[in-house]
Amino acid sequence: MSSSLRVGYVPEHFSTPLYFARTYFSLSADLIPFLSGTGHMVTALRAGELDIAIGLTEGWIAAIAKEVAAYQAAEKTPSDNDFKVVGTFVETPLCWAISTGYGRERITNVQDLKGKKVGVSRGGSGSYVMSYVLKDREGWDQPFECVPLQTFEGLRKGVNDGTVDFFMWEYFTSKRYYSSDTLHPIKKVGEIYTPWSSWKIVARTPLMDTPALDSFLDKVNAGIKYFEEHQEEAVQYISTKLDYEEEDAKEWMKTVRFARDVRGVKKSVIKDTVEMLQKAGVIEGEVWRKGDESTMVEKFVGILREED
């Protein structure tokens, strides 16, 4: 393991407390941005290129569940390059905007998307997982054909040149491009909320129960507290250093609630997310036997949070 923690994150508005943790509370880590999101960080974690990452709940849980099911089928033991959920970064759900190309006149609402091609950042990403959740919500039998386009810009290009018909991305990140005078403009046709809290912290298994992990979580807590107490500074950072309008930053801050203490994840969150992803067809195979909570805790959770 590298002497300095390598931390993957998505360089969007949700990362602001991480910036404050490094700026004001001596967070000693290499912060590595991943424009293509959670799916790319899964790959980097398993390649030993990251120690910790902050990403979307559905991407982490789907990746761990698929690996657990594969290990159980083959009766193998997980490797050191596996990772577990160690923290809850954001308590609120994520609103995914469903968007198509600005001039796509034949696509005006979600019903027009049945049987269409969906753009995703990459396989296993949040945008990939949520395409299955959308299919399940609408009661459609067949999953969408998923086309990996890597980045938010790539997705916007794809819906305008006809490579794909629609994609899903966080609402406030999408919002500024709902105008014809932006680069690769898009049109909103719907939205969908995650049925779970939206952002989790994961760490590779060799980092469990170490002072380095404890220190990192302490610094993130301090960054969140600073964010909550200095909202004008947060808005200025988001609107000048990230790709957001000032008014959108202010509106987003009314909707988000970060964890007061990021340590741990509840068993119920893991269980409910896995069951939803199984129902949607994202996860196949047996993850745990009915009532076998010990498997869930051991394979998914590095730090357990008490239920309310």
pLDDT digits (tens, 9 = 90+) for 37-73: 888 999 999 999 999 999 999 899 989 988 877 766 6
Mean pLDDT over each residue of the chain, to the nearest integer: 90
* Mean pLDDT, range 94-112, rounded to an integer: 96
* Mean pLDDT, range 298-303, rounded to an integer: 89
Q: What is the pLDDT of residue 288?
A: 72
Least confident of 14-18, 68-72, 144-148, 302-306: 68-72
Q: Over the stretch 239-258, which tens digit does the pLDDT of each residue have?
A: 999 989 999 999 999 999 99
**Per-residue confidence band for 1, with pLDDT thresholds at 50, 70 and 90:** very low
Q: Calculate what percentage of the chain has a pLDDT beyond 70.
A: 94
How many whole angstroms separate alpha carbon 145 and alpha carbon 227?
39
**Per-residue confidence band for 219, with pLDDT thresholds at 50, 70 and 90:** very high
232 vs 69, higher pLDDT: 232
Q: Which residues contact 291 (CB under 8 A, 6 or more apart)?
A: none
Say whether pLDDT at 293 is over 50.
yes
CA dist list (Å): 73 to 77, 82, 116, 285 = 11, 17, 33, 8
Around Cβ 72, how many Cβ atoms within 10 Å?
Answer: 16
| Structure-block tokens of residue 45 | 């974690």
Q: What is the pLDDT of residue 80?
A: 52
128 vs 155, higher pLDDT: 155
